[in-house]
Homo-oligomer: A and B are copies of this chain.
Amino acid sequence: MADRILRTQFFDGHSSIAKPVSEGTDMFLELDGHGPHYAQLIRALKGAILDGRLATGTRLPPTREFARELELSRTTVLAAYEQLRAEGFIEAHTGSGSYVAPLQIDPPLLPAKPTVEPPSRYAQRARQVRTPGIATKHRGLRYELQYGHSQINPALSGLWGRELARAASYTPPYIADIQGLPALRKQICDYLAHRRGIRASPDQVMVVAGTQQAVALTARVLLDEGDAVVLEEPHYFSLYQALVAHGARICPVRADAEGLVCTELPQVSPRLVCVTPSHQFPSGAVLSLPRRLELLRYAEKHHCWILEDDYDGEFRYDARPLAALRSLDEGDRVIYVGTFSKVLFGTLRLAYVVLPVALVADFINAKYLSDIASPGIEQAALAHFMEDGGFERHLRLARKELQARREALIEGLRQHAGARVEITDHPAGMHVAVWLRGYDHARAEALIELAHGRGLGLYSITPLYLNPPARPGLLLGYCGLPISTLREAMQLFGQCLDDMDARPA
């Protein structure tokens, strides 16, 4: 849309007499109104040159005359001419002004619609799996129970801001280490030894941009198209998406109340088994010790790798956190993934992997080729936050708060939903899985829709299954709302169930 239309005449530079380019008529130059006048004039003149309205050799009006005619300042016209000359659109002939440069403009650069070849197989597969799933669907509801919406400690943003400002003052501007800041890797090792029972050297640790990058790098390093990967059924949706897009062949293996059912692992060796032993996502089961040992033996026998996603292993409310699967991994086959995005905040995008020695060099290559390294200031801030004890204090506070929220949610469920729901979750983590008694999937969708209309964001557990579960369930995330709001949310949930009860089945 033109903001302003300028009328002027251009002259054929080859002709000895002043002969208008467009026979007898003025030419229209459209200014688009974006940014300063000289930039608009440059775009207008380039456009006229590129679409052939101003042909090679056309003489541009002298700047003074042009400026008067266009009602622009002469400085504006001078600046535009200078830029067009620097970019090669016009040429200055000493003493005789500026001329459109000899450019081969034909065929025109304006196709009606570009012909687009299909993208890579990766992109095509990604299109297939990037259905809305459990992603941000509800936005802006009063009671949002979406999993992963973490807001536990309101004081954290101030603390973190101070850590960032401090780290900015001494962090070198250049990229120091692909694998991650050594000071941070050391803190991670101390933390893992203390809280997760893992003994690892900083040489085996890599800082990455969230769990999703850990998965993407693992796929890069280990998987070719068509390689088999075991996923728990149910499982974290983005893990599934990343692996499918990568071209993996997914072998789902059921998780029950003790976690992954290891007797059902495939006979043909997969390349990778992905598990959430501390707190199965989303069912909440804890992988039992006999199964942990069985899984490690399986990996040993089949020469495959294990991806341990310890996304919320820190949050265990009935006991100290259980040691990670990696702590039993004498065969060095477990790629352990821990994240700060869950315990601190989601948009931090910092996580880490503990790597089998055999894979360290390949992961460094893959990280380098993906994004060189993670940001330096954030890593330095986190290293100091951990060293200084702030992280540990935050964890204690967060654990206490999450436990109280969990109890409020469960209490609210008992009081308002009663026998209409069944809870299979362990006292851990940041979410609860509940099953709707006497509901089929269609009725569950109706409940979700009803709740949504009243400002309550509920999420079905079904998208986390490859094959829908026999009965419908909900994934209730409790880390985004304070206790009193969770109580109100559960009261509202009870009212929604009441209203559903009144509807015919």
> In the complex this chain forms, how many copies of it are found?
2
CA distance A151 to B174 in the complex (A): 8
Task: Report yes or no: A109 in contact with B369, Cβ–Cβ below 8 A.
Answer: no
Q: Which of A110-140 contact B (CB under 8 A)?
A: 110-111, 114-117, 119-123, 126-127, 130
The answer to the question of A83 belonging to the interface, with a C-beta cut-off of 8 Å to chain B, is yes
Q: Mark A132-165, 1 if CB is under 8 A from B, else 0.
A: 0000000000000000111100001110111011
Of B35, B86, B114, which is within 8 A of A331 by CB? B114
A372-B359 contact given A103-B289, A320-B83, CB 8 Å threshold: no
The answer to the question of A68 belonging to the interface, with a C-beta cut-off of 8 Å to chain B, is no
Q: Which of A87-111 contact B (CB under 8 A)?
A: 87-89, 101-105, 107, 109-111
Task: Report yes or no: A222 in contact with B119, Cβ–Cβ below 8 A.
Answer: yes
The answer to the question of A175 belonging to the interface, with a C-beta cut-off of 8 Å to chain B, is yes
Task: Report yes or no: B303 in contact with A172, Cβ–Cβ below 8 A.
Answer: no
The answer to the question of A12 belonging to the interface, with a C-beta cut-off of 8 Å to chain B, is no
CA distance A176 to B345 in the complex (A): 12
Task: Report yes or no: B320 in contact with A349, Cβ–Cβ below 8 A.
Answer: no
Task: Report yes or no: B288 in contact with A88, Cβ–Cβ below 8 A.
Answer: yes
Task: Report yes or no: A150 in contact with B174, Cβ–Cβ below 8 A.
Answer: yes
CB nearest neighbor in B for A329: B109
Distance (Å) between the CB of A98 and the closest chain B CB? Answer: 15
Classify chain A's interface size. 35 or more
Of the candidate stretches A306-314, A360-368, A385-393, the one touching chain B is: A360-368
Task: Report yes or no: B220 in contact with A369, Cβ–Cβ below 8 A.
Answer: no
The answer to the question of A168 belonging to the interface, with a C-beta cut-off of 8 Å to chain B, is yes
The answer to the question of A450 belonging to the interface, with a C-beta cut-off of 8 Å to chain B, is no
CB nearest neighbor in B for A365: B126
The answer to the question of A328 belonging to the interface, with a C-beta cut-off of 8 Å to chain B, is yes
Task: Report yes or no: B35 in contact with A194, Cβ–Cβ below 8 A.
Answer: yes
CB nearest neighbor in B for A209: B371
Task: Report yes or no: A109 in contact with B176, Cβ–Cβ below 8 A.
Answer: no
Of the candidate stretches A15-23, A290-298, A405-413, the one touching chain B is: A290-298
The answer to the question of A483 belonging to the interface, with a C-beta cut-off of 8 Å to chain B, is no
Task: Report yes or no: A366 in contact with B123, Cβ–Cβ below 8 A.
Answer: yes
Of the candidate stretches A69-77, A210-218, A462-470, the one touching chain B is: A210-218
A150-B173 contact given A168-B157, A359-B119, CB 8 Å threshold: yes
CA distance A150 to B172 in the complex (A): 10
Of B86, B165, B194, B366, which is within 8 A of A126 by CB? B366
Q: Which of A154-211 contact B (CB under 8 A)?
A: 156-158, 160-162, 164-176, 193-194, 197, 199, 208-210
The answer to the question of A375 belonging to the interface, with a C-beta cut-off of 8 Å to chain B, is yes
> Which residues does chain B contribute within 8 Å of A117, judged by CB atoms?
271, 303
The answer to the question of A42 belonging to the interface, with a C-beta cut-off of 8 Å to chain B, is yes
A161-B165 contact given A109-B297, A119-B221, A193-B35, CB 8 Å threshold: yes
Listed from nearest, the 10 A-B pairs whose CB atoms lie closest are A347-B376, A88-B289, A161-B168, A173-B345, A161-B165, A126-B365, A164-B164, A209-B371, A213-B371, A86-B319
Chain A residues near B (Cβ < 8 Å): 32, 34-36, 39, 42-43, 46, 50, 79, 82-83, 86-89, 101-105, 107, 109-111, 114-117, 119-123, 126-127, 130, 148-151, 156-158, 160-162, 164-176, 193-194, 197, 199, 208-210, 212-213, 216, 220-224, 227, 238, 241-242, 245, 271, 288-290, 293-294, 296-297, 300, 303, 319-320, 322-323, 327-328, 330-333, 345-349, 356, 358-359, 361-362, 365-366, 368-378, 480
A-B contact pairs, 13 of them (CB 8 A): A82-B319, A88-B289, A103-B293, A114-B331, A120-B221, A123-B221, A127-B365, A151-B174, A160-B168, A174-B346, A213-B371, A349-B372, A378-B378
